[in-house]
Structure formats: C-alpha cells, structure tokens
Amino acid sequence: MMNTARVNCDVAADLLAVVEAESRPVLRRFHDLLLPKVGVAPDQGYRHLMLIDGNDERGIDVGLATRDGFPIGLMRSNVDLRSPSGEVFFSRDCPEYVVTTPSNRPIIVLPNHFKSTFAPGRDGQRRADEKRRLQAQTVADIYRRLRQEGHDNIVVLGDLNDTPDSEPLSPLLRGTDLKDVSDHDAFTEFEYRARTGGRGIGTYGNGRDNEKIDDILLSPALFTRVSKGGIFRKGAWPGQRPKRWDVYSELAAPVHAASDHHAIWVDHDLWPPWGVRLATSSAAPYPLLWLRRDVPGSPRRREGAGVVAAGGLEPPTPAL
C-alpha cells in the first residue's frame, strides 16, 4: 500500500482516474492517511474524489480524483446499460466524467475495467471474450455519441484485460478513431532491460509486449498534442534474472509491489500554459490523468499530464 502511495506521489497527477477502489470513503482514507507519509503536501492533494458504485459485488469500481482547480462537473453512469437478453454490459461501469481545466476547456474521462480473460468452465474463455467484445463495442458507441455531441477531448483508459491486437477489443481500437498512446513516436520513456526482442511496452507482469493490457486511448485532438509518453515501473516487481527495471528500495519481494500492473502515462502540450499527463495501469487503484501549469513561480511537477494506475487499494481478488 505504501508503494502505491509512492507511485502516486512520484507521478504527481492533477487528475487521477481510479481503477479497483472499494468506495469513495476508502479513497478518502487512502488519500488522507498514506499520501502525506510519502511527501504529498496538503495543498498538493486531491480536492475532489468521486466514485459511482458499479456492478461488481466485490466493490472494485472505477472513479476519479482531481486537485483543486480541476472541478468534476457533469457525471454520467452507464452501469445499467443492458443487452436485449437483459445482461448488463459492464462488469463495473464506464462512467463519463467531465473535468474543467484551468483554461475552462473540458476533458471527458472514461475509466474502464473490462472483463478478465479468465472464466470458469469448459466454455469460460469464449464467454469471457464475448463479454469483453460487448464492452468494447459499448464504449465505442459511447465515444461516438460524445463526438457527435461536439466533444473533441476524450480519454478512454484503464484495464482492458486484453492486448491491442485482440479480436474482442477490435470494435474500440479499430472501429473508432481513438489512438493508442503507445503507437505515438514520442512514447519512448520507459526502462526495460530484458532481451525479449520486443519494445518492452507491456503493462503487466514482466512487461513483455504481449502483456500490454492497460491502455490510454486518445481522441485525435489529444493524440496530435502528445509530447512524451512512457511507463513508470518503480512500484512493479522487476523479476530477478535479469531485473528488468529499477524499483523502490522498499520493494524487496513481489508482495511489496504497488500493483502487478505498470503505470502508463502520456504528456500533452494542450492549451498553454497548461500541459497534461495521462496514465493508466490495471488491477490497481488508479489510472490517473494530470495537468500541470507551466507558469513562473508555479510548483514544478513532472511535465505534461496523465492518467496512471498503480496498484490496488484492495487485496488481489478473483478474476471476473
């Protein structure tokens, strides 16, 4: 839990999309009790914390935290969307949060946590894939509706529980104009020392390319303003032969990890003097989105803005 707090401190987000949190009071307790212990000053904490209960009976939901100056405005839950057979689309929810930036321009954040690839029974894999495809199609429909309503700055992020080239995710990744941040030329900021023959852009486990199951998907207006992107892994277990990346000194065993997912982030040059960092990781409490103001005399955080997920507030739970 302390390493989860350290990741949040080091990423220094202004907007934080949350994955796998039990409730708004739990988020508040994490914020008030742990972040100060890793050096987050009171005026750098989160003024706004919001979480809408979803469909998961274990209480592992998605939400959003933002700093003072980044109010959460309109919110829409899609928890009750159902198929013709009556099945709910989302294992948790796909909430829509409208955040107003200091430049008075809105960003719409859609945190997600799709169905796991694991399911019991002989037919479990097929049913899990079908559920994930249904969720991808529904998020794609929500995204298209938002674009038709005139919104240009949209982020879909979180634990999609599948790789970008998978068939279940195709309605979202290939059926819309959303762009995967890892496809941008500026997505180069990550440490990976294993010789596996790939880029090392996985966000789970050992970080191999085929372990990229957490995503930041950007509308074209946001993708064109990407200035930098990468993966923050200091809170993730690095393996031993070899150690694939540097970690916190407090991370001496896998049980100490902030999460088994890695924090993926992206910096944007949006509306000067503001930049934005988006980041996400999964089975973690928070993908996060942050914006930083570059003005004389302002606190220097990390450049840009982002959304990050960095370990869970809850113990590991069975896959659903």
Domain residue spans of the chain: 2-293
| Three-class secondary structure of residue 85 per DSSP | coil
Note whether 179 and 169 are within 8 A (CB): no
- The residues facing 88 across adjacent strands are 82
pLDDT at 210: 94
Question: Is the Cα torsion angle 237, 242, 247, 250 positive or negative in sign?
Answer: positive
Q: Which residues 6+ apart lie within 8 Å of 93 measured at CB?
A: 52, 54, 55, 61, 62, 77, 78, 79
Class of domain 2-293: alpha beta
pLDDT at 120: 81
Beta strand pairing call for 72-76 and 96-100: antiparallel
pLDDT at 109: 94
pLDDT at 25: 92
Along the chain (320 residues), what's the average pLDDT of each consecutive run of 10 residues?
89 80 90 92 87 91 87 95 91 94 89 89 89 97 98 94 96 97 94 88 93 94 91 92 92 93 83 64 44 38 36 41
| Three-class secondary structure of residue 211 per DSSP | helix
pLDDT at 301: 39
Q: Is the entire prediction scored with pTM above 0.85? A: yes
- Measured CA to CA, the distance from residue 158 to residue 48 in angstroms comes to 20
